[in-house]
A and B are shown apart, each in its own frame.
Chain A
Amino acid sequence: MASAARRGRPKIKPPRRHGPDVSIEKTWADLANNIREIQNHNAPNLSFEENHRFAYNMVLHKQGEMLYKGVNQLVAENIDHLANTQVVPVFPSGASDETMQSQEAEMLLKALRIIWDDHISNMVRLGQILKYMDRVYAKSADVPEIWDVGLNLFLKHIIRPPIKDHLVTAILNQIHFERDGYVVNRSAIKGCVDVFLTLEDANGLTVYKRDLEPALLRESQTFYESEGLKLLRTCDAPEFLRLVESRFESEDSRTHHYLSRNTAAALRQILQDNLLTPHISTVISMETSGLDAMIDLNKTNDMARLYRLFVMVPAGLPCLKRALKDSVRRRGEGINQVSLGLEGGDGEATTSKSRPAASGAQTLALALKWVQDVLDLKDLFDKIWKDAFSCDRELESNLNEAFESFINLNDRSSEFISLFIDDNLKRGLRGKTDTEVDAVLDKTITVFRYITEKDVFERYYKGHLAKRLLLGRSVSDDAERGMLAKLKVECGYQFTQKLEGMFHDMKISEDTMKAYKTHLSQTVAPGIDLSVIVMTSTFWPIAHPTSPCTLPLEMIKTSKSFEQFYLSRHSGRRLTWQPSLGSADVRVSFKSKRHDLNVATFALVILLLFEDSGPDDFMTYEEIKQATSIVDNELQRHLQSLACAKFKILKKHPPGRDVDPTDSFSFNADFSSSLQRIKISTVSSKVESGEERKETKDRIDEERRHQTEACIVRIMKDRKHMTHNDLVNEVTRQLATRFLPNPLNIKKRIEGLIEREYLERCDDRKSYNYMA
């Protein structure tokens, strides 16, 4: 030592010997005695220093082994003593009463915890005074420290048959008791489980894992197997789900509060496998309380619970998807069924022509109802999806599929949706704010999205839009354009090109009319004010040739005047008049007073026949027909609106609702009304009759043929060479935004193109070349 060296030769005294020189046997005897005292809770009367020194001396005098073994034995004896005095007396008596059993189990668990606590506090004290032995002897002799010895001895002497078996049974009994809905002393169970969790056997496996958990899982399995069947037998679906969920919760809280966290997953699995998975399909399709009933009764909470439970198990979501799809489809088919009722009525109307007007209004109402029902259904399921199914993406696409399938099952869905929009834009939107209008249209668009045959929709929409524009029926130009913009977003520029063309024509016509008015002011104006809309024939869905009509001279003059004006501005164009689409204002003198009437052009032509007639002059149907050369169905329509509707300008003989070719008519000079201006709306069949539908269908088919051919040529021009299958696939893909082409039709179109030498078949008979 450096300091020692510096101080010269310091005198180092030898240390004194510790303690009095008494024999080792005496030391051990005293120490053993004291240890027993410690085990009898008398530590406060003992000197730590004295006992520590006893142990220290024994280790110092090479008697560590004797000390170690002696302590071992003392501890073992004490544990046995504890077991015999505290645990064995509370062994279950084998009583059959459940409450008794539970109480006994609780007592046993408590007793174990008591002796464990006792043992542990003893071991803490012993560990303190024997620390020198742990440090010096245990290490060199390679034996476990006294604390571990304590645990091992407890394991060996307590956790053994029969005590162990009684303990495990007691815990299981308590859990079972709690599962049955009784209150148990959780802390007693936890006390015992904690001991099990602390003690490890030689392999490092806790007693809990080794002895308790397997038994617990076995027990749970049997319990929940029968529980599942029992619930299924006694509960309706919401109750079943509620109870199952509470089972999940209670098991979770059980593992959380007095079992090991590690068991949670296994228990959960048991619950899923036994309580949930085998029963989901039964529960979801329960007649009066399953998913359908929940949807009907709007039980959001129950459905949310159902969703929570079903997503837990792998079989759950597919099952829920199936049930949802069925439900949507069933409801959708119900809605379709209602609209089918109209089909029958409509057929009758077309065959007998008995009451076309009533039937028309009825069918329109049904069409509107169909769309409204579909929208309501969509709303309902959207709400459920949002509130109960936490916006699950998979379910969303599943719902969409279901909607798509039933909407397309109704082959008139396109017409109905277009009618619905038509109806809304015509009158429904009055008094609604812009945002409300937008909401209605947006909703309609979501339904529109489901239609696969978008070209059919386009055709109907075009027709309806044309009528709205020409008759000035549209409520709001903004709403019209808004709708058009939405369609453009959905289907692209091409889809709305012609529709936009129609709007464009309307605007151009307005300008033309201004110019015409200026022109008239400089020249001699004809007797009638004329307003003309010039329509580009490719944009507008107007039938050619036009329905004929013999105009009175006055009107012919007026129209000629415009014709001249127009053709002088645009040479090389051809104007065709469409009187069937026009309307006219006419002032009529009745007996009481004069009224301004707004009537269709055809109606005006008919009215003018009566211009000079007296009150008793009759004209027969045939006479009117000859004078006007209007075709039968148009003539009937207009006569009906003049003679049979709300305002009876003409008298029909004999009176009645429907017009027959044998009827005759006279001017109703007695007509009176409080209104000055009267609008005679034409009785119109807005929903197509069977014949019209067939015509539309033919036209659509033809259009599809053209589109398919155009598409084939477009693709082949690009690729030059393609196999048959590739070509068909590509065509299908490109046309899918408009309609679903049938492969057979594509094949026919390809053959047509080969005939016309756009394509040639290659030698391998499976592919085609493009011929420039």
Chain B
Amino acid sequence: MSDVEMAAAAETDWVRVTSDDGYTFLVRRKVANASETMRDMLDTAGNYAEAIARTCPVQQRGVIVEKLLEYMSFKAHYAEAGPRDEIPVQELMERIPPEIVLELLLAADYQNM
């Protein structure tokens, strides 16, 4: 594959994100790249076991992973938004249950996003 094709594939192919309680999520690689840790994990240059399997184990509960991915999708979606586009940050924040915020915070720090 040429570099261009690689880049295109990297944007559109699917990767697997697993939680430690057995949930599995399929997301676009573009979404996974919103987390720097996940991006490094899946980086074909580093080529660790995860990159080969295209699977990112996240040592969190499913609910946390789900919320992380929701935010990552949100981030990936609005990453290219212009300065005049409205980004509904408030709505996203309101969708975070207060019970998990601390856990979420730690997870986000680990995921470096």
Chain A residues within CB distance 8 Å of chain B: 1, 3-4, 7, 10-16, 18-19, 43-49, 51-53, 56, 121, 124-125, 128-129, 131-132, 135
Contacts and interface: CB of A to CB of B under 8 A. Distances in A.
Given A13-B99, A15-B103, A131 B40 contact: yes
Interface string B44-72: 01111111100011010000000000000
Contact of B46 (A7, A19, A43): A43
Given A10-B98, A12-B101, A132 B46 contact: no
Given A11-B99, A124-B45, A135-B112, A47 B50 contact: yes
Contact of B48 (A43, A121, A135): A43
A491 B50 CA distance: 92
B47 A15 contact: no
Contacts of B106: 15, 18
Given A13-B99, A49-B56, A129-B40, A121 B45 contact: yes
A48 B50 contact: yes
B49 A45 contact: yes
Nearest to A136: B109
B88 to A, nearest CB: 14
A129 B37 CA distance: 8
18 contacts: A10-B99, A12-B102, A13-B99, A13-B102, A13-B103, A18-B59, A18-B110, A44-B49, A46-B49, A47-B57, A48-B50, A49-B56, A52-B37, A125-B47, A128-B40, A129-B40, A131-B36, A131-B40
Contacts of B8: none
B31 interface: no
A131 B98 contact: no
Nearest to B48: A48
B102 to A, nearest CB: 5
B34 interface: no
Contacts of A19: 59
Contacts of A3: 93-94, 96, 98
Contact of A12 (B37, B49, B98): B98
Contacts of B47: 43-44, 125
A56 B49 contact: no
Nearest to B100: A13
B59 A53 contact: yes
Contacts of A44: 47-49, 51-52
A128 B99 contact: no
A128 B112 CA distance: 12
B92 to A, nearest CB: 11
Given A52-B41, A132-B110, 19 more contacts: A4-B98, A10-B97, A12-B98, A12-B99, A14-B102, A18-B106, A43-B48, A44-B49, A44-B51, A44-B52, A48-B48, A49-B57, A53-B59, A56-B110, A121-B45, A124-B45, A125-B46, A129-B40, A131-B112
Of A11, A47, A49, A121, chain B has the most CB atoms within 10 Å of the CB of A49
Nearest to B41: A48
A45 B47 CA distance: 9
B46 A124 contact: yes
Given A7-B98, A10-B98, A53-B59, A48 B40 contact: yes
A117 to B, nearest CB: 12
A121 to B, nearest CB: 7
Nearest to B98: A10
Nearest to B104: A15
Closest 5 interchain pairs by CB? A48-B48, A128-B40, A10-B98, A15-B103, A48-B41
Contacts of B52: 44
A129 B47 CA distance: 12
Contacts of A129: 40
A44 B52 CA distance: 7
A132 B98 contact: no
A707 B11 CA distance: 93
A47 B37 contact: no
A12 B104 CA distance: 11
